[in-house]
Protein backbone atom coordinates (compact mmCIF):
# COMPACT_ATOMS: atom_id res chain seq x y z
CA UNK A 1 0.00 0.00 0.00
CA UNK A 2 1.96 2.97 -1.32
CA UNK A 3 -0.53 5.82 -1.94
CA UNK A 4 0.49 9.26 -0.71
CA UNK A 5 -1.25 10.49 2.48
CA UNK A 6 -3.22 13.30 0.81
CA UNK A 7 -4.44 10.92 -1.89
CA UNK A 8 -5.49 8.38 0.71
CA UNK A 9 -7.40 10.99 2.68
CA UNK A 10 -9.19 12.29 -0.41
CA UNK A 11 -10.10 8.78 -1.56
CA UNK A 12 -11.47 7.83 1.87
CA UNK A 13 -13.47 11.05 2.16
CA UNK A 14 -14.98 10.47 -1.28
CA UNK A 15 -15.75 6.82 -0.57
CA UNK A 16 -17.61 7.56 2.66
CA UNK A 17 -19.61 10.34 1.03
CA UNK A 18 -20.96 7.91 -1.56
CA UNK A 19 -24.37 6.32 -1.84
CA UNK A 20 -22.61 2.95 -1.98
CA UNK A 21 -21.16 3.47 1.51
CA UNK A 22 -24.59 4.33 2.91
CA UNK A 23 -26.09 1.27 1.22
CA UNK A 24 -23.40 -1.07 2.49
CA UNK A 25 -22.85 0.25 6.00
CA UNK A 26 -26.21 1.66 7.05
CA UNK A 27 -26.87 5.10 8.57
CA UNK A 28 -24.28 4.95 11.36
CA UNK A 29 -21.29 3.97 9.18
CA UNK A 30 -19.54 2.21 12.07
CA UNK A 31 -19.69 -1.00 14.12
CA UNK A 32 -22.06 -0.93 17.06
CA UNK A 33 -24.51 1.52 15.48
CA UNK A 34 -26.54 3.91 17.61
CA UNK A 35 -26.30 1.70 20.71
CA UNK A 36 -22.52 1.97 20.89
CA UNK A 37 -22.71 5.68 20.06
CA UNK A 38 -24.98 6.13 23.10
CA UNK A 39 -22.38 4.46 25.31
CA UNK A 40 -19.68 6.77 23.99
CA UNK A 41 -21.92 9.79 24.46
CA UNK A 42 -22.56 8.82 28.10
CA UNK A 43 -18.82 8.43 28.65
CA UNK A 44 -18.29 12.07 27.63
CA UNK A 45 -20.35 13.29 30.61
CA UNK A 46 -21.55 16.40 28.81
CA UNK A 47 -24.82 18.29 28.92
CA UNK A 48 -26.70 21.42 27.81
CA UNK A 49 -24.56 24.48 27.28
CA UNK A 50 -21.41 22.49 26.54
CA UNK A 51 -19.69 22.04 23.17
CA UNK A 52 -18.61 18.71 21.68
CA UNK A 53 -16.99 17.88 18.33
CA UNK A 54 -17.71 14.80 16.26
CA UNK A 55 -14.47 14.28 14.32
CA UNK A 56 -14.94 12.63 10.90
CA UNK A 57 -18.68 13.11 11.26
CA UNK A 58 -19.64 11.61 7.89
CA UNK A 59 -23.40 11.80 7.26
CA UNK A 60 -23.96 13.44 10.65
CA UNK A 61 -25.90 10.59 12.24
CA UNK A 62 -23.83 10.46 15.43
CA UNK A 63 -23.60 14.24 15.76
CA UNK A 64 -27.38 14.53 15.67
CA UNK A 65 -27.74 11.67 18.15
CA UNK A 66 -25.23 13.36 20.45
CA UNK A 67 -27.19 16.60 20.35
CA UNK A 68 -30.49 14.86 21.04
CA UNK A 69 -29.18 12.77 23.93
CA UNK A 70 -27.24 15.50 25.74
CA UNK A 71 -28.65 18.86 24.69
CA UNK A 72 -25.11 20.07 24.01
CA UNK A 73 -23.91 22.08 21.05
CA UNK A 74 -22.20 19.88 18.45
CA UNK A 75 -19.67 20.66 15.75
CA UNK A 76 -19.29 17.95 13.13
CA UNK A 77 -16.01 18.00 11.21
CA UNK A 78 -15.39 16.05 8.01
CA UNK A 79 -12.91 16.13 5.15
CA UNK A 80 -15.65 15.61 2.54
CA UNK A 81 -17.47 18.80 1.59
CA UNK A 82 -20.23 16.62 0.15
CA UNK A 83 -20.71 14.91 3.53
CA UNK A 84 -20.67 18.27 5.32
CA UNK A 85 -23.42 19.61 3.05
CA UNK A 86 -25.54 16.46 3.39
CA UNK A 87 -25.15 16.43 7.17
CA UNK A 88 -26.14 20.10 7.42
CA UNK A 89 -29.31 19.35 5.49
CA UNK A 90 -30.03 16.43 7.84
CA UNK A 91 -29.62 18.73 10.84
CA UNK A 92 -32.08 21.24 9.41
CA UNK A 93 -34.55 18.49 8.58
CA UNK A 94 -34.29 17.21 12.16
CA UNK A 95 -34.93 20.67 13.60
CA UNK A 96 -31.39 20.80 15.02
CA UNK A 97 -29.89 23.39 12.71
CA UNK A 98 -29.29 25.81 15.61
CA UNK A 99 -27.70 23.15 17.81
CA UNK A 100 -25.53 21.21 15.36
CA UNK A 101 -23.30 22.62 12.66
CA UNK A 102 -20.95 20.90 10.26
CA UNK A 103 -17.67 22.24 8.92
CA UNK A 104 -15.07 21.10 6.43
CA UNK A 105 -11.83 20.15 8.12
CA UNK A 106 -8.94 17.71 8.46
CA UNK A 107 -8.61 15.66 11.66
CA UNK A 108 -4.85 16.18 11.49
CA UNK A 109 -5.36 19.96 11.64
CA UNK A 110 -8.70 20.63 13.31
CA UNK A 111 -10.35 24.00 12.55
CA UNK A 112 -10.98 24.61 16.26
CA UNK A 113 -9.41 26.81 18.92
CA UNK A 114 -7.18 25.31 21.57
CA UNK A 115 -9.03 24.17 24.72
CA UNK A 116 -12.41 25.04 23.16
CA UNK A 117 -14.29 21.75 23.63
CA UNK A 118 -16.02 20.03 26.53
CA UNK A 119 -15.75 16.69 24.75
CA UNK A 120 -14.88 14.96 21.48
CA UNK A 121 -16.26 11.93 19.71
CA UNK A 122 -14.33 9.86 17.15
CA UNK A 123 -15.91 6.74 15.69
CA UNK A 124 -14.14 4.33 13.35
CA UNK A 125 -11.93 7.02 11.86
CA UNK A 126 -8.46 7.05 13.46
CA UNK A 127 -7.65 4.00 11.31
CA UNK A 128 -8.17 6.20 8.22
CA UNK A 129 -5.84 9.04 9.26
CA UNK A 130 -2.35 8.68 7.75
CA UNK A 131 -0.72 10.78 10.51
CA UNK A 132 -2.23 9.30 13.64
CA UNK A 133 0.19 11.12 15.94
CA UNK A 134 -0.97 14.47 14.51
CA UNK A 135 -4.63 13.50 14.86
CA UNK A 136 -4.13 12.43 18.48
CA UNK A 137 -2.29 15.68 19.23
CA UNK A 138 -5.10 17.69 17.67
CA UNK A 139 -7.77 15.87 19.67
CA UNK A 140 -5.84 16.62 22.85
CA UNK A 141 -5.21 20.24 21.87
CA UNK A 142 -8.86 21.19 21.39
CA UNK A 143 -10.09 19.67 24.67
CA UNK A 144 -10.42 21.77 27.79
CA UNK A 145 -8.81 20.44 30.98
CA UNK A 146 -11.10 17.74 32.37
CA UNK A 147 -12.81 17.15 29.02
CA UNK A 148 -13.02 13.65 27.55
CA UNK A 149 -12.49 11.95 24.24
CA UNK A 150 -14.67 8.91 23.46
CA UNK A 151 -13.13 6.93 20.63
CA UNK A 152 -14.06 3.69 18.90
CA UNK A 153 -12.07 2.13 16.10
CA UNK A 154 -11.12 -0.99 14.22
CA UNK A 155 -8.11 -2.55 15.94
CA UNK A 156 -5.61 -4.99 14.47
CA UNK A 157 -2.41 -6.88 14.98
CA UNK A 158 -0.80 -5.19 12.00
CA UNK A 159 2.14 -7.58 11.71
CA UNK A 160 -0.29 -10.48 11.22
CA UNK A 161 -2.54 -8.84 8.61
CA UNK A 162 -2.48 -10.76 5.32
CA UNK A 163 -1.35 -8.93 2.18
CA UNK A 164 -4.97 -8.69 0.95
CA UNK A 165 -5.77 -6.47 3.97
CA UNK A 166 -2.86 -4.08 3.35
CA UNK A 167 -4.05 -2.60 0.03
CA UNK A 168 -5.46 0.87 -0.67
CA UNK A 169 -8.95 -0.66 -0.85
CA UNK A 170 -8.38 -2.27 2.55
CA UNK A 171 -7.25 1.12 3.90
CA UNK A 172 -10.51 2.71 2.75
CA UNK A 173 -12.33 -0.20 4.42
CA UNK A 174 -10.69 0.75 7.78
CA UNK A 175 -8.45 -2.33 7.80
CA UNK A 176 -4.97 -1.70 6.40
CA UNK A 177 -3.75 0.81 9.00
CA UNK A 178 -5.77 -0.24 12.05
CA UNK A 179 -3.60 -0.41 15.17
CA UNK A 180 -3.65 -2.50 18.35
CA UNK A 181 -5.64 -0.93 21.21
CA UNK A 182 -2.46 -0.61 23.26
CA UNK A 183 -0.87 1.45 20.50
CA UNK A 184 -3.92 3.71 20.21
CA UNK A 185 -3.87 4.24 23.97
CA UNK A 186 -0.17 5.03 23.75
CA UNK A 187 -0.78 7.63 21.03
CA UNK A 188 -3.37 9.36 23.20
CA UNK A 189 -1.16 9.25 26.29
CA UNK A 190 1.77 10.68 24.32
CA UNK A 191 -0.52 13.50 23.16
CA UNK A 192 -1.21 14.43 26.77
CA UNK A 193 -4.44 12.56 27.46
CA UNK A 194 -5.02 10.11 30.29
CA UNK A 195 -6.73 6.87 29.26
CA UNK A 196 -9.56 6.01 31.66
CA UNK A 197 -11.05 2.96 29.94
CA UNK A 198 -10.19 0.57 27.10
CA UNK A 199 -12.17 -2.48 26.03
CA UNK A 200 -12.79 -4.72 23.04
CA UNK A 201 -16.11 -4.88 21.19
CA UNK A 202 -15.27 -7.41 18.51
CA UNK A 203 -18.89 -8.51 18.30
CA UNK A 204 -19.81 -5.09 16.91
CA UNK A 205 -17.43 -5.59 14.00
CA UNK A 206 -18.81 -9.09 13.40
CA UNK A 207 -22.34 -7.68 13.17
CA UNK A 208 -21.29 -5.01 10.68
CA UNK A 209 -19.49 -7.63 8.59
CA UNK A 210 -22.73 -9.65 8.58
CA UNK A 211 -24.51 -6.67 7.01
CA UNK A 212 -21.76 -5.96 4.51
CA UNK A 213 -21.50 -9.58 3.39
CA UNK A 214 -25.27 -9.80 3.01
CA UNK A 215 -25.38 -6.63 0.94
CA UNK A 216 -22.49 -7.78 -1.23
CA UNK A 217 -24.27 -11.05 -1.88
CA UNK A 218 -27.21 -9.02 -3.20
CA UNK A 219 -24.78 -6.89 -5.21
CA UNK A 220 -23.47 -9.97 -7.00
CA UNK A 221 -27.04 -10.76 -8.06
CA UNK A 222 -28.16 -7.33 -9.25
CA UNK A 223 -24.87 -5.95 -10.59
CA UNK A 224 -24.72 -2.43 -12.00
CA UNK A 225 -28.09 -1.35 -10.63
CA UNK A 226 -26.38 -0.60 -7.32
CA UNK A 227 -25.43 2.91 -6.20
CA UNK A 228 -22.23 4.39 -7.57
CA UNK A 229 -21.63 1.41 -9.86
CA UNK A 230 -20.65 -0.82 -6.96
CA UNK A 231 -21.59 -3.89 -8.97
CA UNK A 232 -18.66 -3.43 -11.34
CA UNK A 233 -16.13 -4.55 -8.72
CA UNK A 234 -18.27 -6.50 -6.33
CA UNK A 235 -16.15 -9.66 -6.49
CA UNK A 236 -13.14 -7.76 -5.17
CA UNK A 237 -15.14 -6.44 -2.23
CA UNK A 238 -16.57 -9.89 -1.48
CA UNK A 239 -13.03 -11.26 -1.32
CA UNK A 240 -11.95 -8.41 0.96
CA UNK A 241 -14.89 -8.99 3.30
CA UNK A 242 -14.09 -12.71 3.44
CA UNK A 243 -10.48 -11.96 4.38
CA UNK A 244 -11.66 -9.53 7.04
CA UNK A 245 -13.99 -12.18 8.45
CA UNK A 246 -11.15 -14.68 8.60
CA UNK A 247 -8.88 -12.15 10.33
CA UNK A 248 -11.63 -11.39 12.85
CA UNK A 249 -12.16 -15.09 13.55
CA UNK A 250 -8.41 -15.49 14.09
CA UNK A 251 -8.24 -12.56 16.49
CA UNK A 252 -6.13 -10.43 14.14
CA UNK A 253 -8.92 -7.86 13.66
CA UNK A 254 -11.38 -6.49 16.18
CA UNK A 255 -13.08 -3.36 17.44
CA UNK A 256 -12.14 -1.29 20.45
CA UNK A 257 -13.45 1.53 22.62
CA UNK A 258 -11.18 3.96 24.46
CA UNK A 259 -12.15 6.84 26.74
CA UNK A 260 -9.46 9.36 27.62
CA UNK A 261 -9.45 12.65 29.56
CA UNK A 262 -7.34 15.76 29.31
CA UNK A 263 -5.88 16.33 32.80
> Per-residue pLDDT tens for 25-39?
888 889 999 999 999
Of the candidate ranges 49-58, 142-151, 168-177, the one whose mean pLDDT is the lowest: 168-177
Contact 247, 162 (CB under 8 A): yes
Contact 87, 104 (CB under 8 A): no
Which uninterrupted H or E stretch holds 235? Answer: helix 234-249
Q: Given a cut of 80, is residue 213 above it in pLDDT?
A: yes
- Nearest C-alpha neighbor of 36 from the set 60, 73, 62, 63: 62
Q: Alpha carbon 41 to chain centroid distance?
A: 14
Rounded to an integer, the average pLDDT of 8-24 is 81
Q: Alpha carbon 81 to chain centroid distance?
A: 16
For residue 1, name the pLDDT band (cuts at 50, 70, 90): very low
| Domain 5-13+36-201+254-261: CATH architecture, name and number where available | 3-Layer(aba) Sandwich (3.40)
- Nearest C-alpha neighbor of 64 from the set 28, 96, 41: 96
pLDDT in tens, 88-147: 999 999 999 999 999 999 999 999 999 999 999 999 999 999 999 999 999 999 999 999
| Predicted local confidence at residue 29, as pLDDT | 84
Instruction: Give the rounded percent of residues in the chain with a pLDDT score beyond 90.
Output: 76
Rounded to an integer, the average pLDDT of 3-14 is 78
Amino acid sequence: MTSAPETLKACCASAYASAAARWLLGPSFHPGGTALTSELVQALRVGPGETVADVASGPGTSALQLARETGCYVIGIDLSEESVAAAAKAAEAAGLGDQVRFVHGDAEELPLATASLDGALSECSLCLFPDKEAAAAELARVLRPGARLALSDVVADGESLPAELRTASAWAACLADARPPEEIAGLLESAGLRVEASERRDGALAELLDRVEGRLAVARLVGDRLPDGLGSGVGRWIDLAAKARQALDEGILGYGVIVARRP
